[in-house]
């Protein structure tokens, strides 16, 4: 191996101790992996993910098939049972009107969930469109779209929703209340996406695609958007919980859904006068609301940790 012997202060490790390996040998795992696959593998290992996902699945089933969980008609209210204590069949007792609390919670689920889902569809569609074009094309389009977003952003969406709901008091339904919340909530999504697009669009792979002759819009859809969407998913999951709270808040303030519509917000609102005499009428709908909102926020947190390895390393 050598043509002359080394001097005494020239140390050479025996080859057996550090055998040479092939330079830059390809070492890949058994299964393919990328951001999404890795995120899924990471989430799968966390109990928090399974707990929140299980609760959310349960809530969805309750919303779709309320009669699976209770046979009692929530509209069968008998005033003589007003604020009555729980019985064997009416496990959570009765509210002021004498309706079954448990049944009302079960039947109110679909309202809360629908509002949440419609709001996030609305905010995501608006936010993605505004954020995507503002961030990607920049220039005057960015100025116009971003200022438009700022105008909506500067008004607290709850306040705006109160005003809208008061104006449209004749048309209070699930869709209108979702619209009232969503129309002022999308700028948050747009901002997050715009910032992410600004970062991703300067990546070398975008320039490489341009040099290949891929059209600008196609680059946006195929390369830039998929690489920017992760934070939007996080924001969306968390804001679903916030939208459900917003509906409850509006109903509580009396500008939400009409009393004829069963919703947790309405129930909480109606129960506030009887807090001392019949706390169950307030507490149980509140617990349902909290659990639902918490599950979505928890899921959002887990998704964020899984998608952002930096946040993971810091824990």
Partner 1 sequence: MSDRTSQNAPGTGGEQQPLLRIRDLEVGFQTTDGIVPAVRGVDLTLMPGQTLAIVGESGSGKSTTAHAIINLLPGPGRITGGSIEFDGKELTKYSEREMEDIRGKLIGFVPQDPMSNLNPVWSIGFQVEETIRANGIATGRKDVRAHAIQVLREAGLQDADKRLKQFPHQFSGGMRQRVLIGIGLSSRPKLLIADEPTSALDVTVQRRILDHLETLTRDIGTAVLFITHDLGLAAERAEQLVVMYKGKIVEAGPSKEILQNPIHPYTQRLVAAAPSLASRRIQSATHESASHALSDLDYAPTQVTEGLDLIAAAEERLEHTSRTKRPDAIVVKDLTKVYKIRGQGKGASGELIASDKVNFTVEKGTTTALVGESGSGKSTVAKMILRLEDPTSGSILIDGQDVAPLKGKGLLDLRRRMQPVFQDPYGSLDPLRNIGNTIGEPLHTHNVGDRASRKARVLELLDQVALPQTLITRYPNELSGGQRQRVAIARALALKPDIVVLDEAVSALDVLVQAQILKLLADLQAELELTYLFITHDLAVVRVIADNVCVMQKGRIVEAASTDQVFDNPQEQYTKELLNAIPGAGIALGV
Distance CA 127, CA 111 (A): 24
Q: How far is the CB of 12 from partner 1 (least distance, A)?
A: 5
171 near partner 1 (CB under 8 A):
no
Number of residues that bind partner 1 (CB under 8 A): 44
Q: How far is the CB of 186 from partner 1 (least distance, A)?
A: 25
Helix (H) or strand (E) holding 161: helix 157-167
Q: Which stretch binds partner 1 (CB under 8 A): 27-35, 83-91, 183-191, 295-303?
A: 27-35
Q: What are phi and psi of 3, to 5 degrees?
A: -90, -25
140 near partner 1 (CB under 8 A):
no
CA angle 183/189/194 to nearest 5° reads 125
139 near partner 1 (CB under 8 A):
no
35 near partner 1 (CB under 8 A):
yes
Task: Using DSSP, state whether 94 is helix, strand or coil.
Answer: strand
**Tokens 């009302």 identify what position?**
104
**Tokens 């390809």 identify what position?**
26
> Which residues, 6 or more positions from 42, have their beta carbon under 8 angstroms from its beta carbon?
305, 306, 312
Q: List binders of partner 1 among 224-263 (CB under 8 A).
A: 226-227
Distance CA 131, CA 225 (A): 10
Based on CB atoms, which residue is closest to partner 1, 172 or 223? 223
Based on CB atoms, which residue is closest to partner 1, 227 or 286? 227
* Footprint of partner 1 (CB under 8 A): 1-4, 6-13, 15, 17-18, 20, 23-24, 26, 28-29, 32-38, 203-205, 207-214, 222-223, 226-227, 313
């Amino acid at each position: 191996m050598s043509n002359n012997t080394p001097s005494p202060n020239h140390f050479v490790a025996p080859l057996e101790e550090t055998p040479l390996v092939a330079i830059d040998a390809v070492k890949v795992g058994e299964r393919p992996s990328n951001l999404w696959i890795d995120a899924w593998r990471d989430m799968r290992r966390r109990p928090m993910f399974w707990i929140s996902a299980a609760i959310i699945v349960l809530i969805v089933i309750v919303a779709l098939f309320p009669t699976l969980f209770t046979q009692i008609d929530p509209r069968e209210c008998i005033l003589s049972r007003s604020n009555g204590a729980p019985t064997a069949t009416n496990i959570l007792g009765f509210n002021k009107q004498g309706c079954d609390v448990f049944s009302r919670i079960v039947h109110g689920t679909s309202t809360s969930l629908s509002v949440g889902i419609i709001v996030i569809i609305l905010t995501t569609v608006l936010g993605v469109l505004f954020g995507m074009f503002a961030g990607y094309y920049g220039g005057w389009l960015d100025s116009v779209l971003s200022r438009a977003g700022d105008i909506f952003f500067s008004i607290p969406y709850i306040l705006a929703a109160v005003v809208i709901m008061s104006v449209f008091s004749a048309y209070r339904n699930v869709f209108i209340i979702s619209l009232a919340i969503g129309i002022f909530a999308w700028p948050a999504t747009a901002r997050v996406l715009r910032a992410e697009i600004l970062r991703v669009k300067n990546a070398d792979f975008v320039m490489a695609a341009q040099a290949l002759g891929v059209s600008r819009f196609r680059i946006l859809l195929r390369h830039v958007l998929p690489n920017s969407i992760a934070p939007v998913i996080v924001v969306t999951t968390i804001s679903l919980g916030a939208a459900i709270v917003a509906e409850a808040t509006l109903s509580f303030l009396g500008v939400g859904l009409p009393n004829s519509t069963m919703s947790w917000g309405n129930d909480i609102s109606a129960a506030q006068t009887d807090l001392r005499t019949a706390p169950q009428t307030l507490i149980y709908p509140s617990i349902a609301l909290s659990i639902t909102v918490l599950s979505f926020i928890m899921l959002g947190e887990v998704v964020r940790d899984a998608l952002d390895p930096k946040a993971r390393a810091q824990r």
